[in-house]
Amino acid sequence: MAHLSPLVRQATPVLAARGEGVYLYDDAGRAYLDFTAGIGVTGTGHCHPHVVEAAQRQVATLIHGQFTTVMHKPLLTLVERLGEVLPPGLDSVFFANSGSEAVEAAMRLARQATGRSNVIVFHGSFHGRTVGAASMTTSGTKFRAGFAPIMGGVTVAPFPYAYRYGWDEATAVRFALRELDYILATISAPRETAAFVIEPVLGEGGYVPAPKAFLEGLRERADAHGIVFVLDEVQTGFGRTGKFWGHQHADIRPDVVVMAKGIASGFPLSAIAASSELMAKAWPGSQGGTYGANAVACAAALATLDVIRDEKLVENSAAMGARLLEGARRIASEHARIGDVRGLGLMVGSEFTRSDGEPDVATAQRAQAAAAERGLLLLLCGTWGQVVRMIPALVVNAKQVDEALAIWAEAVREASAT
Ligand code: PMP
């Protein structure tokens, strides 16, 4: 008899039988308010009728075209439609299946385009689990463990995580930019540095928005040194932060945007976008994959873009995100163990901190479990797992936000009583 590998660590006890909107249902018909959304994937909610219909139609027409063998219409139409939402100048798109693969595609593009080998990433970043992407990942203690040697050429620079440093944001930004300049002067010279890769909001690393001034400082340095500025929007794209792209909260222009998760409402699809000039410097044929730009995933992505536009989900994300953030802050104000609540749009994190200032992982875990018992599904993040994050579908309404907050208040009360 076969059994599921213990490599799988399940964060909640739920056996999901069915999903609809912001709810998951188990076999017994119990409803769970899903504030995990498949780790920020099902932005349009579970099984949105328009997405379901588009995917069903495509399944019956052409499932797999293999884009390096034949071209298909859903892919070509998706490129056009992405052109309507991508930042100006990013007019060339390449597809893969997962966030990790797309990050690796961006890294290879940057290395090929510049002829330089080094990549600079930031403390607490998560870029994926394939070896290249894992080499760029420091958001947890396990991601690079036990399979050395990892990919070379990666330097990890400080991220201005003001709360954990115990500084104000301006001081954290000044420190992080100064350290970056030190790295560029000593460890990873500009002529050897192909790319900066950063998330607009540290995701797995604890839901820490990158300060505007920091992103702008990176842009300046990228311009000064011909370094490719890669924004990993895998978790922050497609309306998640209350703007279409997370980096739009700052006044910057990325050279490459990496996208996945929210792009196709749960079908495996990812992509990178860059200018045609930059993309032309990649080596044709050096990238690809059997399943990239699967026709059903592309059809689902087209339907996802329709829903985001027609149901004004970016605006809803901003409005519901503000309500969720405010509610979570109100709850934190009554509980000393929550030291900080932060986020952008519908990415909201509550960070648990012990009285000695160290991360309070145990209370975060208890609060997450107590919420699940009461029917609210949440996930942990942060390097140690000290942050509880809320990341519901973008279709969430005020009643559901309030319901989740009421459960969260009880869960935190129970977790803090121990
Ligand atoms: N980048 C970011 C910012 C992510 O949040 C994730 C997934 N959590 C990835 C990359 C990797 O994506 P995937 O799991 O699809 O490989």
Domain boundaries, the chain: 16-44+313-417, 51-310
Q: Residue 98 CA: which ligand 1 atom is closest?
A: 15
Taking residues 314-339, report their average pLDDT: 98
Pocket of ligand 1 (CB under 6 A): 39, 98-100, 103, 126-128, 199, 203-204, 232, 234-235, 260
pLDDT at 257 > cutoff 90: yes
User: What pLDDT is stored for residue 401 in this prediction?
Assistant: 98
What is the reported pLDDT for 418?
82
Q: How far is the CA of 99 from the centre of ligand 1 (A)?
A: 5
Counting ligand 1 atoms within 8 A of each CB, the residue from 41, 100, 257 with the most, and so the one to mutate, is: 100
Q: Is the pLDDT of residue 232 over 90?
A: yes
Q: Predicted confidence band at 99 (pLDDT cuts at 50, 70, 90)?
A: very high
- Residue located via tokens 């798109």: 93
Report how far residue 129's alpha carbon sits from residue 372's, in angstroms, rounded to the nearest whole number. 27
Mean pLDDT across the stretch 285-310? 96
Nearest in space to 346 (alpha carbons), one of 315, 377, 370? 315
Task: Map residue 157 onto helix, strand or coil.
Answer: strand
Q: How far is the CA of 126 from the centre of ligand 1 (A)?
A: 7
Q: What percent of the chain has pLDDT over 70?
A: 100
Which pLDDT value is given to residue 144?
Answer: 87
Atom in ligand 1 nearest the alpha carbon of residue 97: 15
pLDDT at position 141 is 86
pLDDT tens-digit profile of 28-59? 999 999 999 999 999 999 999 999 999 999 99
- For 16-44+313-417, CATH number out of 3.40.50.10860, 3.90.280.10, 3.90.1300.10, 3.90.1150.10 equals 3.90.1150.10
Question: Closest ligand 1 atom, CA of 260?
Answer: 15
Contact call for residues 49 and 273 (beta carbons, < 8 A)? no
At 376 the pLDDT is 98
- pLDDT, mean of residues 143-155: 93
Domain 51-310 adopts which CATH fold? Aspartate Aminotransferase; domain 2 (3.40.640)
Closest CA to 155 of 107, 184, 179, 120: 120
Q: How many residues does the chain have?
A: 418
Q: Answer yes or no: is pLDDT of 378 > 90.
A: yes
- pLDDT over 90 percentage in the chain: 96
Q: Are 73 and 58 in contact (CB under 8 A)?
A: no
User: What atom of ligand 1 comes closest to residue 128's alpha carbon?
Assistant: 11
Q: How many other C-beta atoms can be found within 10 angstroms of the C-beta atom of residue 404?
A: 25
Residue nearest to atom 1 of ligand 1 (CA): 127
